[in-house]
Amino acid sequence: MALALLPFTVFLAAKWNFITIVTGISHERLQVFHRWTAWLMFVLSLIHTFPFIVYHINKGDMVNQWKTQVFYWTGVAALIPQAWLTFMSIGPIRNRFYETFKTFHYVAAALFIVFLFIHCDFRLSSWDYFIALVIVYGLSLCGGAIKAYVLNGFQHRAALEAQADGTVKMTILTHISWKPGQHMFVRFVGGSLGVQNSVATHPFSICSLPYEGKIGTGINQLVFYVKPHGGITRRMQDFAKENRGQTIPVLLDGPYGGIDSSAFETFERFFFIAGGSGGGTILPLLGSLVRKAARQQLLAKEAGSAESQKSLDVQVLWAVKSQGKWLLSR
């Protein structure tokens, strides 16, 4: 049962996967299932392990089994990275050491799968689950690579600008189109922000809308507002202050996520809640409502209807740390 969960645990972590294609549920909403299947797999692995250890300790041949049977030491070698993967993914720990967590997550996952493969040793139907793992994860990698390198292309460059309130504005000119509420994974090519960031991708919420009338054909402006904390975001701030006017080559993977766009056409009253730098995320949502109101007025005017006086009711609650930052943000 633990082994049968392996393909699902890995597949649910992929940005590009068939679950999203079939259901429309974006990858970030599937992460909760990725974490719970990982916990379940870990618990089942322990249930599998303990009876063997207890039995051979009581029998008095545990040391001999460890020395002569490959299954025992490879099982422990698989459990150690599995335990690390599981416990380091706990929310407060993951968020506190995110850069380290992300790097070693892949390393630990690779070690876990290698030792698990040796441990199973083609017994029973174990080989079937490893084949399934290779197929589903391979397709995810291929789909993501096609989207990032073929459809999105290599020509993008990011301009970083330090803002008065401490945030960093990142602007990228692109032919890509997107919808309100979506996010993009950015890979910074070269060593401008550190070599390690040429390998990893970093998610940022999109804070702009594509130009109307040019979707898919013209040049749109991707805008991100980034709050510096540590790691990559702090390096972005340092680069923006020290290299004004310079751009960084980037690779874009996305867009992903989003919200149900039918809500913008169905409802007339909207209430947005945002905190701190998260206020940038609601900007494209507000922009969509402005465009909706403009379209309604234009259609009503062309029809000669009194509906042209109709307006949307939009309220925004934006919590910030200080009044000074609010005035700067306005």
Report the 3 state secondary structure along the chain.
CHHHHHHHHHHCCCCCCHHHHHHCCCHHHHHHHHHHHHHHHHHHHHHHHHHHHHHHHHHCCHHHHHHHCHHHHHHHHHHHHHHHHHHHCCHHHHHHCHHHHHHHHHHHHHHHHHHHHHHHCCCCCHHHHHHHHHHHHHHHHHHHHHHHHHHCCCCCEEEEEECCCCCEEEEEEECCCCCCCEEEEEEECCCCCCHHHHCCCEEEECCCCCCCCCCCCCCEEEEEEECCCCCHHHHHHHHHHHCCCCEEEEEEEEEEECCCCHHHHHCCEEEEEEEHHHHHHHHHHHHHHHHHHHHHHHHHHHHCCHHHHCCCEEEEEEECCCHHHHHHHC
Question: Would you state the pLDDT for residue 215?
Answer: 46
Question: Would you state the pLDDT for residue 214?
Answer: 47
Cα 40 to Cα 21, 37, 43, distances in angstroms: 25, 5, 5
- Beta-bridge partner residues of 203: 185
Range 157-257 classified under CATH 3.30.70: no
Neighbour count for residue 8 (Cβ, 10 Å):
20
pLDDT in tens, the chain (330 residues): 888 898 888 888 888 888 888 887 888 888 889 899 999 999 999 999 888 888 888 888 878 877 777 778 888 888 999 999 999 888 888 877 777 787 788 889 899 989 888 888 777 777 888 888 888 888 888 888 888 888 888 888 999 988 887 888 999 998 888 888 889 998 888 777 766 666 778 889 998 888 765 444 568 889 999 888 877 888 888 888 888 878 888 889 888 887 777 777 778 888 988 887 778 888 888 888 888 777 777 777 766 655 545 577 888 888 877 665 544 444
pTM: 0.76
Question: Would you state the pLDDT for residue 41?
Answer: 92
Question: Would you state the pLDDT for residue 323?
Answer: 63
Range list for CATH 2.40.30 in the chain: 157-257
Question: Would you state the pLDDT for residue 194?
Answer: 65
Question: Would you state the pLDDT for residue 129?
Answer: 85
Question: Would you state the pLDDT for residue 195?
Answer: 62
